[in-house]
Amino acid sequence: MSEPADDKAPLSAVLRDLSLNGGPRVSIGELMERFGGRAMGALLLVFGLACALPLPPGATTVFGLPLLLLAPQLLFGARAPWVPGKLRRRTMSRVDLRTGLNKALPWLERIESISRPRFSFLFGGTGQRIIGLVCTLLAFVLILPIPLGNMLPAASVTVLSLALVQRDGALALIGYALAVASVGVLVLAAGLIMHAAQHLIAIITSA
- pLDDT digit string, tens, across residues 157-199: 999 999 999 999 999 999 999 999 988 877 776 676 676 777 6
Answer whether residue 194 is part of any domain.
yes
CA distance 28 to 37: 15
Cα→Cα distances 17→13, 30, 33, 78, Å: 6, 12, 13, 27
Answer whether residue 4 is part of any domain.
no
Answer whether residue 2 is part of any domain.
no
> pLDDT tens-digit profile of 78-128?
888 888 888 888 888 888 888 878 888 888 889 988 989 898 888 888 888
Q: What does the pLDDT average to over 48-52?
A: 83
CA distance 98 to 35: 17
The domain in which residue 141 lies consists of 11-206
The reported pTM is 0.84
Quick one: angle between helices 151-166 and 125-142, nearest 10? 150
Answer whether residue 112 is part of any domain.
yes
Query: Across all residues in the chain, what is the average pLDDT?
Result: 83
> CA torsion 153→155→157→161, rounded to 10°?
-170
> CA torsion 78→80→81→84, rounded to 10°?
-110
Answer whether residue 53 is part of any domain.
yes
Answer whether residue 57 is part of any domain.
yes
Answer whether residue 5 is part of any domain.
no
Answer whether residue 85 is part of any domain.
yes
Q: What does the pLDDT average to over 18-35?
A: 85
Query: How many domains does the chain fold into?
Result: 1
Residue 83 burial (CB count, 10 A): 20
Residue 53 burial (CB count, 10 A): 16
